[in-house]
Chain A
Amino acid sequence: MEINFNINGKTAKVDVDPAMPLLWVVRDELNLKATKFGCGAALCGACTLHIDGEAYRSCSIPVSFAAGKKVTTLEGLSESEDKLHPIQQAWMEENVPQCGYCQPGFMMAAANFLEKNPNPTDDDIKTNITNICRCGTQPRIIKAIKRAAQLSQTLTA
């Protein structure tokens, strides 16, 4: 079935099974590899992306759900590699990743969370972001989200 949606500001047209998880469409049909496969059951958050401004775990969302909507992956989060989104900027400044595999999902979850909670406490962050990282970057992720909140406020001030 042909499905159309917007991906990172461009039109995507795919001809796939409408039940195919959006994750595989994004990764293998559209060749955008930042969105990761971790569990296939919406448990780890490695596949987090945005659909119409909401964060979704794309391994468990059929591509049909995205039809006519606006999908953003990590590749589309920043304006350019020189002008980073506050989340990615903060991730650089806090030197967050280790293996790096789960980080795109964390950054996408955090970017969406910050839009709704522009000035979060540690507890807000700990309760709302439930992705999994095995390397143990959690302490830096918390710091980076708070730093990103500051960076965003500086940008909008």
Chain B
Amino acid sequence: MATEDKKTTKKFSRRKFLQRGAIIFGGTVVAVIASKGPIRRFLAQKAENMDFPLLVSTQEPSFWFEVLPDNTILYKSTKLEMGQGIFTGLAMLAAEELEVSLEQIKVVHANTANGVEDSLGTGGSNTTLSLFKPIREVAATLREMLKAQAAKQWDVPVSSIKVENGIMTSGTHKATYYEISTSTQEWETPETPALKPSSTFKYVGKDVKRIDLKPKVMGKPIFGIDQTFPDMLYAVMLQSPYIGGTLKKLNTQEATKVNGVVKIVEDNELVAVVAKNRYAAEMGLQKIEAEWDVPKKWQQAEFEALTTVGLGTDVRIQSEGSPESLLEEAPDQVFKQEYRTPLATHAHMEPHGAVAHVEKDKATMYVGTQASTLFRGAIAKAIEVETEQLNIETTYAGGSFGRRIDSKHSEKVARIAKIVGKPVHVFNTRTQEFQNAIYRPQTHHVLAAKIGKNGTIEAITHHQATPDQVLGAIPANIGYTLLGADFVSAGHGASILYNIEHKSATLWQNKQPVHTGIWRSVGMFPNTFAIESFINELAHKTGKDPLKMRLELLAGNEQINQRYKTVLETLAEKSGWNQPKAAGIGRGIAIGNDRKSIAAAVIEVAIVNNQIQVKKVTQVLDAGLAINPEGIRMQVEGATMMGITAALYEGLTIKDGQITATNFHEYPMTKLSDTPEIEVIILEGHSEPYGVGEPPLAPVAPAIAAAVFDLTGKNLRTLPLKLS
């Protein structure tokens, strides 16, 4: 939302935000889009820099905050803490306006029963930005309500009341927030008070350790998999090991004989072994004899070929000048390359699952989900209770990276609980995590540029073939039919930002036999790899320094370009870009723009035993106002390590209709031994915070590829990068 204009609480009404949400999902607006290229392009540009709306009412502070007897404040977060540190950032913001110390704020996940809902869930690196103003406004409103009540009781002017650490004083009067909060039942909501100027911030901008540090270091039972109910049973679901497989024949006789197995649930497509403990449930699952109908046993080559530029529907999402005709006119001046990124998965450490207790007219579930509200209605329907009768308690998530936007599995868990008539605990095996996941789509990119006589880039085109990340989640194919391609997520970052007069970007959308979805940094990951690798190759081709060439291509006065230039110049200095390299070291660079943030990396690699080894990473991030620089550093370090995994190791392959990876030995990820020296530089100087969790991931893979080229002269254009 626009954070500049002054608002009262009324302006945050639900209706207003629903209207804003209609840009993409509303019926009337979407209906216009169908065949209109320019409108689609307009929407694609909007999506690139989308202000995600907030669907939480800010009119009721009690939905957000509770004052507890020890005069601490309970903040009920609608946003999932999945490692990104959002509880800490939100607590810091709330503390600023509540006039309490950070230690006085306790953050828990909101449950759906108390009416706090957030229809968009947690994701898109938008939480801090979307809540930056509302959370402070609600906190300030609560503070003013308490002050007004104290003033009334003491018969003093509100302006005479001072607050420190949640204790209000005026002359000889003194009371805690809690004392005042329990002194009446009648409250008046004032107009939203003016917010504190940033110059008086106590916490914002300071390094703060995460507020969930102690429970995580002590190993407290905070995750979904740790939750229990009395008399709870454990279940494991039978899931197809084949892509697109459906159950043909089932023999559960041997499974029922396993000691501890209580019941085999068979309900249409749902089959689950329910047992007294997880071990018995797993043993039971192993004894099930299942035959599968497999419409087609996919092999890697034909699966990969599905995602190829030129196949499927195409949607032009950027079109400036006439790049195509320029390329056609001068074929001998055209430089063209292709890039590929593979199918991959989230591989978060806590497997997917849920704990459910379904009673008559009442149900409770524990789920680590990014979007409880999206699935609540469907779950309630599946177990025949009213939506209001189903309470979803969101738990901390053991990693997510976009996977937990989809919580459809919870519906099956609830059905099992209803059928068994007892609480159940149902979590995937690791093999199921690999074989029955929602995947990061594979992509194929074709980039072409016309190089002028003096080495200038006169025209550039980018074609990206990609399955979708969100269209499949929109009912009844509306997404495919109306939008044509998933430029919101999968195609995010496909447009060329550089100042080249003639440029275009085109998406080629195919459906896939596997379910593809959101993965940390969405389309920005493959698109930055392809575009930035191509820019690096163009620099080599035209004999230019890759960093200087980027600065040239960014000439212009637009704010984003100025920010780009500052990031690049800082990076050049901090990474020693212009200093000589050590022997055996290659150096590469890449930059990306995501969620209004700009992230760029210089990476140094060595080759050890014919393996690429990342030695040093310098990341510069301009993420707007840095609420908690320490939290941002953690995210950049994390995104860097995940980026190294994505660049060097991860990718799924398919053989005889199955995903071949069954566990981590077939899906290697970075270990301590892969840890390079990482330097993080955070640029500041803005009035609002931008995204942090995703942007720093994108530049890692192309910077590594460029470093490998620098060292070996080999251009690696397919992820994961392999020397031979």
| Chain A residues within 8 Å of B, Cβ to Cβ | 16-17, 19-21, 24, 28-29, 31, 33-41, 43-44, 46, 73-75, 78, 81, 84, 88, 91-92, 95-104, 107, 125-127, 129-142
Contacts and interface: CB of A to CB of B under 8 A. Distances in A.
Main secondary structure of the interface of A (DSSP, over half): loop
29 contacts: A19-B279, A24-B278, A33-B226, A34-B219, A34-B221, A35-B219, A36-B350, A39-B664, A41-B664, A44-B349, A74-B218, A75-B218, A81-B214, A81-B218, A88-B217, A92-B217, A97-B217, A99-B350, A99-B398, A101-B223, A101-B349, A107-B219, A131-B671, A133-B349, A134-B349, A134-B642, A135-B399, A136-B642, A136-B670
Contacts of B350: 36, 38, 99, 101
Contacts of B222: 100
Contacts of A81: 214, 218
B663 A41 contact: yes
A136 B638 contact: yes
B351 A37 contact: yes
B673 A17 contact: no
A18 to B, nearest CB: 11
Contacts of A127: 673
B550 to A, nearest CB: 26
Contact of B216 (A17, A100, A129): A100
Contacts of A19: 279
A46 B349 contact: yes
Given A17-B260, A39-B663, A74-B218, A138 B672 contact: yes
A142 B278 contact: no
Nearest to B638: A136
CB-CB nearest 3 A-B residue pairs: A34-B219, A136-B641, A101-B398
B523 interface: no
Given A21-B279, A75-B219, A103-B217, A135 B638 contact: yes
Contact of A38 (B210, B277, B430): B430
B568 interface: no
**Chain B CB within 10 A, most for which of A28, A37, A99:** A99
Given A28-B278, A136-B641, A103 B351 contact: no
B219 A126 contact: no
A29 B398 contact: no
**Chain B CB within 10 A, most for which of A95, A107, A125:** A95
Contacts of B637: 136-137, 139-140
B193 to A, nearest CB: 33
B131 interface: no
B82 interface: yes
B634 interface: yes
Nearest to B258: A17
Interface in B66-98: 82-85
A130 B672 contact: yes
B486 to A, nearest CB: 25
A99 B397 contact: yes
A36 B277 contact: no
A130 B669 CA distance: 11
B280 A17 contact: yes
Interface of B: 82-85, 209-210, 212-223, 225-226, 228, 234, 259-260, 277-280, 282, 346-351, 396-401, 427, 429-430, 630, 634, 637-642, 663-665, 669-675, 678
A95 B396 CA distance: 18
A141 to B, nearest CB: 6
Contacts of B639: 136
A74 B219 contact: yes
Given A40-B430, A135-B638, A101 B213 contact: no
Contacts of B213: 92, 95, 97
A132 B669 contact: yes
Contacts of A137: 634, 637-638, 641
Given A17-B279, A28-B234, A95-B210, A88 B218 contact: yes
A127 B671 CA distance: 9
B226 A138 contact: no
B398 A91 contact: no
A92 B664 CA distance: 28
A29 B671 contact: no
A41 B279 CA distance: 13
A43 B418 CA distance: 35
Given A16-B277, A37-B351, A134-B348, 18 more contacts: A24-B277, A38-B351, A43-B663, A44-B664, A74-B218, A84-B217, A88-B218, A97-B212, A97-B216, A100-B222, A103-B219, A130-B671, A132-B664, A132-B669, A135-B83, A138-B674, A140-B634, A141-B672
A28 B355 CA distance: 14
**Chain B CB within 10 A, most for which of A33, A75, A98, A104:** A98
Contacts of B223: 33, 36, 101
Contacts of A20: 277, 279
Contacts of B225: 36-37
Contacts of B210: 95, 97
A91 B399 contact: no
B638 A95 contact: no
Contacts of A24: 277-279
B349 A139 contact: no
Contacts of B280: 17
B337 to A, nearest CB: 30
A28 B222 CA distance: 15
B108 to A, nearest CB: 15
A126 B672 contact: yes
A41 B664 CA distance: 9
Contacts of A40: 282, 429-430, 663
Contacts of A43: 663-665
A3 to B, nearest CB: 14
B673 A98 contact: no
**Chain A CB within 10 A, most for which of B218, B280, B348, B674:** B218
Nearest to B675: A138
A99 B349 contact: yes
A35 B220 CA distance: 10
Contacts of B399: 99, 101, 134-135
Nearest to B433: A39
**Chain A CB within 10 A, most for which of B223, B346, B401, B664:** B664
Contacts of A97: 83, 210, 212-213, 216-217
Contacts of B348: 99, 101, 134
A130 B637 CA distance: 19
Nearest to B697: A136
B262 to A, nearest CB: 15
A139 B675 contact: yes
A37 B209 contact: no
Contacts of B671: 126, 130-132, 138
Nearest to B674: A138
Contact of A95 (B83, B634, B640, B665): B634
A150 to B, nearest CB: 18
A102 B209 contact: no
A31 to B, nearest CB: 8
